[in-house]
Amino acid sequence: MYIPEEGIGIRIEDDYWMGKKGCISLSENLPKTAQEIEALVQQQFEDDSLDRDDDDDDDIIDFSDLRATEH
């Protein structure tokens, strides 16, 4: 993905795990377009601002709702 107006490029790859039941995509539900990534980050900041306490200084984005899917 390249964002010319920002002068940045990002390489996004899919990750798979080969299990006994077949191929499992580890990244299928992760955002891949600039719009999807921006929406996820914006939502995280909105959620974080609602429950931020004074001694919470981490800036970690929570991807726990994005589960791997089996193919």
Type of residue numbered 1: M
Please list the residues that pair with 25 across neighbouring strands. Answer: 16, 69
Asked if residue 63 lies in contact with residue 23, where contact means CB atoms within 8 angstroms, the answer is no
Question: CA-CA distance, 54 to 69, in Å (whole number)?
Answer: 37
How many structural domains comprise the chain? Answer: 1
Amino acid 39: pLDDT? 92
Mean of pLDDT values over 29-35: 88
Amino acid 48: pLDDT? 74
Question: CA-CA distance, 45 to 9, in Å (whole number)?
Answer: 23
Amino acid 23: pLDDT? 93
Amino acid 70: pLDDT? 62
Helix intervals (H) in 1-71: 34-51
Question: CA-CA distance, 44 to 3, in Å (whole number)?
Answer: 22
Domain housing 47: 2-70
